[in-house]
Amino acid sequence: MKYKDYQNIEIMEHPLIKHKITMLRNKETKTAEFRSLVEEIAMLEAFLALQDLPLRDVETETPIETCMSPVIDGKKLAIVPILRAGLGMVNGIHAMVPTAKVGHIGLYRDPETHEPREYYCKLPENINDRLVVVLDPMLATGGSAAAAVDFIKERGGKHIKFMCIIAAPEGLERLAKAHPDIEIYVGNLDRCLNEQAYICPGLGDAGDRIFGTK
């Protein structure tokens, strides 16, 4: 389903994604299960988000004859998790496209201003030739996602998608306005942000829940 008039924002409707997000939200869900759910949701979202992945034909011998048959050109894909919580989505994508290259962008939100602060950026080479999929389970104010896309563009990235599990309307609109040329995939659109810029109802702090730090 498209969000409002934005043709580049896709809100997922698949019941498996909705079900797993409900399990993620539950405050009783423990770290190991939380991590598995994040991976599974990333894998399911990838079905839709990666439907235009480039293919190349390879010669394949079947028991009957030899034919040319398509395989995914995984070397053309770069996945870029925003640290820390985006790391939780990497294995889900890698399960489908093991040859995808991985870059990392380290950002954290300033606790006072909620604006992103960069501490790390390492991207695969030839980023301009790749489809770049930025991963972060949470799109709250949108500051981290917009900054991550800025970094990728500054380094030559052109074809960029952003994939998240839960978004707030405020962040979704900020990202879409800052980067109208990227495609955005959202597992669920939540109600709003609270005074601390946490998503409501949300799932709490994704990084802490994935890595068991609280």
Q: What are phi and psi for residue 102, nearest 5 degrees?
A: -120, 125
109 as an active site residue: the answer is: yes
For ligand PRP, the closer of residues 78 and 199 by Cβ is 199
> What's the token pair of residue 162?
């952003």
| Binding residues for ligand PRP restricted to 133-172, rule: CB under 6 A | 136, 138-145, 171
What is each CA distance from 63 to 66, 69, 88, 142, in whole angstroms? Answer: 8, 14, 40, 52
Strand partners, 10: 2, 185
Cβ atoms of residues 117 and 145 within 8 Å: no
In the chain, how long is the greatest CA-to-CA distance? 66
By beta-carbon proximity to ligand PRP, the closer residue of 129 and 170 is 170
Out of 73, 118, 170, 205, the only residue in the binding site for ligand URA (CB under 6 A) is: 205
Tell me which of 90, 167, 199, 210 binds ligand URA, using CB under 6 A.
199
Kindly give the pairing relationship between strand 183-189 and strand 159-167: parallel
Q: From the list 146, 175, 206, 210, which residue makes contact with ligand URA (rule: CB under 6 A)? A: 206
Show contacts with ligand URA in window 53-92 (CB under 6 A). 85
* Cα–Cα dist 95/109, whole Å: 29
Residue that has been written with the tokens 């981290």 in this structure: 144
- CA end-to-end span of the chain, whole Å? 35
Shortest separation between residue 26's beta carbon and ligand URA, angstroms: 15
5 is catalytic: no
**Count of residues in contact with ligand PRP, rule CB under 6 A:** 23
Marked catalytic residue, from 73, 109, 129, 150: 109
Query: Would you please indicate which residues are annotated as catalytic (active-site) residues?
Result: 109, 113, 205, 208
Contact residues toward ligand URA (CB under 6 A) are: 85, 138, 140, 198-199, 202, 205-207
